[in-house]
Structure 1
Amino acid sequence: MTAPYEIARPDDTEQPALLPWSADPYVHALRTGRGPLFLRRTDGWLLPLDVERWCARPDDADLTVLDRCEGAVLDVGCGPGRLVAELAARGRTALGIDVSEAAVAHTARLGGRALRRSVFQPLPSERRWGTALLMDGNVGIGGDPPALLDRVSRLLAPGGLVIAETVPADVDERVQVHVTDGRGTVGVPFPWARLGTPALLRYARALRLDVEGQWAAGGRCFVALRSRSTSSSAEPPNRTAVISSQRARKPSADSPETSR
């Protein structure tokens, strides 16, 4: 069975000249697989970023998320691609999206499919994804959690899941940050948000997303939200979608594995 989406080549003319996560210490960290790396607020506060974990194989906490995925999976802000690659190895339909060219290339090297694209740009198979992932703080993308959750919910098939990782504290913060290695090299500033579970649930209720579950693993917190179903034909939970050509397909001009 082939994937239920068509990969479109991103239009580079739509990409700003400077993007966060693209021309900053993040690229170097992905290439080396290690930090230090931080998000720095304008007041100087530093949030450590766990590059080593992102570049490793999925850990036990990650697996609690992957085991809950349903249907075709879209990993929003996939980073170096550990989750997309693991889903591919399981024979699941999965696509990562990320604004970082280095992250997309890293995902492809691991055997996953990825596309250089913002979640707010047009994406393949909108309203057909079974699960959308917002891991590793990616619920903060864009600095506007309600707008992000609304956009992601509109990418799902009726009754689809959003699985988000939250801060293990009661936090609802919107800030300007930049990526830094803590040694003087910094990236461009961009809006970001940090959400604990209570704040995420407030926004979910306003968007009519139902709470499917909440859990903690490895010191990390997760929430599963289900979009309202308007169809009785939604795919049942945890159905495996096998892609016979997941690893063997030859890269084409429209494939995210094509060199850039």
Structure 2
Amino acid sequence: MSTAHDLATAVAATRTAGITTPAWAAADPYSDALRTGRGPLFLRRADGWLLPLEVERWCAAADPVDLEVLERCEGAVLDVGCGPGRLVAALAAQGRRVLGIDVSEAAVAQTVRRLGHRERGEGPALLRSVFDPVPGEGGWGTALLMDGNVGIGGDPRALLRRLVQLLVPGGLLIAETVAVDIDERVRVQVVHGSDDRHSAGAPFLWARLGTPALLRHARRAGWRAVGQWTAGGRCFAALRSRSTNSSAEPPKSTAVIRSQRPRNPSADSPVADR
């Protein structure tokens, strides 16, 4: 994807494509939290286990840890599960070609507003599942799975195989992982507040992966690891397709700096057992 015109053309070509929007994407707790920029918001498992969602950080500007990740990006960037668009906005401000996709209409609307576009179709964000048609398939230089978005769909290997299709040969995937060694697939709901059972969204499948689990799935899906690092208490891995011989250098060495917690499910233990 060599020019901004290419990106605009690709977006226009898929603007009216049919998409699959999960029922949870319209869940009032999630949409309301993004509109207000405040939590508390959690993922709740069927057994009552709760995982905090960092709404305030999602809705803030990109922090130093985010910006370090963005410095590693190559070519046009696809932010998968862009949320309210802090990374899309930061990349756009740097003059980078970027597109955010998300299955939440509220998230896409926030991203568009953040960048000053009046209509969803005009800006660098689309209401779209990664498993549906995506603009510029096979032409993205970098894909981002930040803030726990390796959990999308509850099937990490299927997600990784899909991303191979979206990137250029030898393209870069940067994924944020849980800071413990975990490989979990669960059915969860978005809920507002730890005791609120009346404003839960529809159940959906999610996954949580530590770096060892991500690398295991990645090898089987045709990826090779080219870097791992931590920063601000967060863990990241960089991957490339093994189908090409890339001469690009791996991500820069580990830099540990202070920051807030990640946007999506955190790496901490559950905050409540009920």
Q: TM-score range by the shorter chain?
A: 0.7 to 0.9
Could you tell me which residue of structure 2 aligns to residue 131 of structure 1?
A: 142
| Matching of residues 1-260 of structure 1 within 5 Å | 1-5=3-7, 6-7=10-11, 8-11=14-17, 14-15=19-20, 19-111=23-115, 113-182=124-193, 183-184=196-197, 185-228=199-242, 230=244
Q: In structure 2, what is the Cα distance between the partners aligned to 1:113 and 1:33?
A: 21
Equivalent-residue separation in structure 1 for 2:6 and 2:57 (angstroms): 30
CA distance in 1, matches of 2:249, 2:89: 23
Richer in helix (by share): 2
Residue type matched to 2:191 in 1? T
2:168 and 2:104 map into 1 onto residues whose CA distance is 26
TM-score in terms of structure 1 length: 0.85
Residue identity over aligned pairs, in percent, reads: 66
Q: TM-score w.r.t. structure 2 length?
A: 0.81
User: Structure 1: which 5+ runs fail to align?
Assistant: 239-260
Query: Moved runs in structure 1, 4+ residues, more than 6 A?
Result: 234-238
Q: Is the 8 A contact 1:179 1:186 kept in 2?
A: yes
Distance 2:177 2:84 in 1: 20
State the distance in 1 between where 2:20 and 2:163 align.
20
Alignment gaps of 5+ in structure 2: 116-122, 252-274
Q: Output the amino acid matched with 1:206.
A: R
Q: Distance in 1 between matches of 2:189 and 2:144?
A: 23
Quote the residue 1:249 is aligned against.
none
RMSD: 2.0
**Cα separation, 2, equivalents of 1:235 and 1:217:** 22
String of CA shifts for 1:74-101, please: whole Å, max 9, x gaps.
0000000000010000000000000011
The AA in structure 2 aligned to 1:147 is A
